């Protein structure tokens, strides 16, 4: 199951990740253990998910060696200064019970409470990025990157920092595929990660997606995950049942070039599309 992409620094990142968004701390431990049991080796969490403690317990109790796992967390979008970012990284490591994470990201280009602000937060993001660079140099993070950043936000970091972002994690699914941003990231050697490949469940309601899934004799979820993988991105599906976790790893089929083009251009499914206009 484990296929990887190569980061700028030569490290490998598994292309199929287990997402833990909205999985509460009291149940996420068992979920992480089950995900690892069925083969996931990339676990994605964040400070704002408030489940780092449970994720860390799941990793510890999984019985898998730490160096066989790729663990991601994210600095809260509300943190936009160096001091708080630096402290938050240490707190995340403490909660996870880990000496290092494999990847740490700035969770969003703007604080969640100020998504519609005209402020681009360029200066503030450079402050947070400074803290991430220090964590990287100190071995607290094996790689650093961003999440929900647009081209201009990434370029700001590239233009003003010694180390560019290695990853950009963004909402990406059939019906909301930011091809321009994906191509920009690829051009700059940045791994693109697709979160919510099933569009928070809305993909199951789309007749086009369901129809094409039936054509390949796969589930809607499997089609959605495979789609993001064939875009050359890391895919981060979420599931709480071990049955769905297993199902989401069974991706031994190929979407045709014609169907990929059709799905990429699908314009009758607008969930999430306006996010990048904020």
Q: What is the pLDDT along the chain (278 residues), one digit of tens a residue?
A: 579 999 999 999 999 999 999 999 999 999 999 999 999 999 999 999 999 999 999 999 999 999 999 999 999 999 999 999 999 999 999 999 999 999 999 999 999 999 999 999 999 999 999 999 999 999 999 999 999 999 999 999 999 999 999 999 999 999 999 999 999 999 999 999 999 999 999 999 999 999 999 999 999 999 999 999 999 999 999 999 999 999 999 999 999 999 999 999 987 665 554 444 33
pTM (predicted TM-score):
0.96
pLDDT at 277: 35
pLDDT at 173: 96
Distance CA(241)–CA(86), nearest Å, equals 35
DSSP state of 133: H
Q: Answer positive or negative: Cα dihedral of 203, 205, 210, 213.
A: positive
pLDDT at 276: 44
CATH of domain 4-271: 3.20.20.100
Residues in CB range of 6: below 8 A, 6 or more apart: 12, 13
Cβ 185 vs Cβ 191: under 8 Å: yes
Cβ 231 vs Cβ 177: under 8 Å: yes
- Please, which residues bridge with residue 71 across strands? 43
- The SS3 call for residue 130 is helix
Distance CA(69)–CA(221), nearest Å, equals 24
Strands 4-6 and 12-14: antiparallel
pLDDT at 52: 98
Residues marked as catalytic: 49
Torsion of CA 151, 157, 160, 162, to 10 degrees: -130
pLDDT at 278: 34
pLDDT at 2: 76
- Please, which residues bridge with residue 45 across strands? none
pLDDT at 8: 97
**Where do the structural domains in the chain lie, given as residue ranges?**
4-271
């Amino acid at each position: 199951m484990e296929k990887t992409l190569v980061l700028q620094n030569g490290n490998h990142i598994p292309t199929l990740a287990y997402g833990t968004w909205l999985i509460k701390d009291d149940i996420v431990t068992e979920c992480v253990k089950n995900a690892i049991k069925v083969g996931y080796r990339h676990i994605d969490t964040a400070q704002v998910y408030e489940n780092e403690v449970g994720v860390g317990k799941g990793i510890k109790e999984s019985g898998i060696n730490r160096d066989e796992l790729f663990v991601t967390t994210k600095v809260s979008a509300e943190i936009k200064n160096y001091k708080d970012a630096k402290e938050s990284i240490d707190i995340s490591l403490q909660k996870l019970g880990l000496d290092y994470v494999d990847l740490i990201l700035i969770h969003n280009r703007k604080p969640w409470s100020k998504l519609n602000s005209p402020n681009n937060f360029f200066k503030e993001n450079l402050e947070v990025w400074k803290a991430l660079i220090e964590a990287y140099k100190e071995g607290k993070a094996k790689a650093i990157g961003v999440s929900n950043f647009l081209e201009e936000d990434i370029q700001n970091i590239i233009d003003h920092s010694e180390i560019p972002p290695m990853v950009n994690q963004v909402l990406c699914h059939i019906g909301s595929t930011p091809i321009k941003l994906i191509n920009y990231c690829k051009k700059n050697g940045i791994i693109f990660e697709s979160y919510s490949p099933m569009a928070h469940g809305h993909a199951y309601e789309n007749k086009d997606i369901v129809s094409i899934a039936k054509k390949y004799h796969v589930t809607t979820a499997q089609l959605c995950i495979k789609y993001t993988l064939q875009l050359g991105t890391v895919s981060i599906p979420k599931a709480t049942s071990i049955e769905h976790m297993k199902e989401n790893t069974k991706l031994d089929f190929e979407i045709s070039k014609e169907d990929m083009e059709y799905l990429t251009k699908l314009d009758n499914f607008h969930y999430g599309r306006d996010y990048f206009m904020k």
